[in-house]
Amino acid sequence: MTQADILILSNGPGEVTTWVRPVVKALREQLGDGVRISVVLSPCPNASGKEKAIALSYSEVDRAQGAEGFFEFLLWGKTTQNWDWHDRGVVLFLGGDQFFAIAIAKRLGYRSVIYAEWDARWHLLGDRFGVMNAGVMAKVKPQYASKFTVVGDLMAEAAQFSPSVPQETQELIGILPGSKPAKLAQGVPFGLAVAEYVQQKRPQTRFILPVAPTLDLQTLARFANAQTNPVSRYFGGMSAELIESEEKAFLQTSSGLQVELRREFPAYGILAQCQLCLTTIGANTAELGALSVPMIVLIPTQQLDAMRAWDGLPGLLANLPLLGSFFAKTINGLVLRQKRLFAWPNIWAGGAIVPELVGNLQPQAVGDLVLDYLANPEKLAQVRQKLRQVRGAPGAATKLAQLVGEELKPLVDI
């Protein structure tokens, strides 16, 4: 019988898969069945609408609510399914706006625990803060320092979800084009074009594409088909068809290239065996970094208004009806001129560990870079070593769960 509630506030697909997943596992391991774990999602411009289903797929989660009912819950305390609540509990922030977590905790009479990756806000109102590193704490006034604990980087937890899979003996390259239409429209045909060029030079090379749980194969196939994806014309009209059986699924081009679609989630087991991955920006760069998998980060700008997956106000403006394309072009142009780092391992290191290619990218030029890496495995080994050095030790989820448990102890006997 549960005695207390843990309400996790999250938002986008990256947070739900890379933050919520390891934390709910750690919470259940430490607190057992004496707590009820609920997930409430707030609106996010990057959301696919399937985040609720993903959260519910975690056996540790007892119930979840989608973003469509968030503001009614925030303002009036009413969930779409009229959930009941224990008198005692903790609201845990794992994505969205930190103020939402504090406001909901005050409404429910719960304690609040906030995970802060880069910035912790509302120091006076929040009860506990688990932060990624000491740099976050350096911004905190001394009178609030006792509320703060360095727990580490939740993104580094990916390695614990690497299931054992048969060891690959072939040369393997992963293609990670993202999960949102704005990224898929460019990433799928571009990745196929690079793969086709590489395989012509190195026929022994195999390619895989992990399919995000928010994406079905038919939708992915539309982005691979030049007739249904006009952006393909920027990459030589690259096109592929979906070939599906009970055991496997492929995207196959007219040249005979087959890119295997991997539907296990998370696909860390097979990704860890890749010599190299081609990836767009986002949480996937953190996951690959945590797995110590070398990567080339691709930001093609042939269709500048296609990138609309920014967080916060830029993401909202870029997705407005009618004016969204204008804002997307303007925002993307400004961001790209800043010469900022986009890949998480590079951000962690404060410099380029893995290459970030930005601009009017051409498949042959990227393919030549891939071929150079494959022909010089010592370069890949150096990248792997640097990734291991910056990814941080696992354990952030366990430490964050401990903070939640400490906040519960004065309230209930777990």
Instruction: Encode pLDDT of 235-287 as tens digits.
Output: 888 999 999 988 899 999 999 999 999 988 778 889 999 999 999 988 788 88
Q: So what's the pLDDT on residue 208?
A: 97
CA distances from residue 277 to 112, 211, 296, 365, 380 in whole angstroms, order as listed: 38, 14, 6, 16, 11
Q: So what's the pLDDT on residue 266?
A: 75
The full DSSP string for 53-100 is HHHHHSTT--EEE-GGGHHHHHHH---TT-----SSEEEEE-SS-HHH
Q: So what's the pLDDT on residue 268?
A: 84
Closest of 4, 30, 17 to residue 401, by C-alpha: 30
SS3 121: coil
| CB 297 within 8 Å of CB 187 | no
| Structure tokens given for 8 | 């996790």
Q: So what's the pLDDT on residue 212?
A: 83
Place of tokens 């448990």: 405
Q: So what's the pLDDT on residue 248?
A: 92
Instruction: Encode pLDDT of 47-82 as tens digits.
Output: 778 889 999 999 999 999 999 999 999 999 999 999
Q: So what's the pLDDT on residue 302?
A: 57
350: left (phi > 0), else alpha (psi -120 to 50), else beta? left
For the chain, list the domains and their CATH numbers. Answer: 4-152+395-408 (3.40.50.2000), 161-390 (3.40.50.2000)
Q: So what's the pLDDT on residue 132?
A: 86
| CB 187 within 8 Å of CB 281 | no
Q: So what's the pLDDT on residue 153?
A: 85
Angle of CA points 384, 182, 190, to nearest 5°: 55
3-state secondary structure 192-251: HHHHHHHHHHCCCCEEEEECCCCCCHHHHHHHHCCCCCHHHHHHCCCCEEEEECCCCEEE
- In this prediction, the residues of the chain whose per-residue pLDDT falls under 70 are 1, 46, 158-169, 302-339, 392-393, 410-414
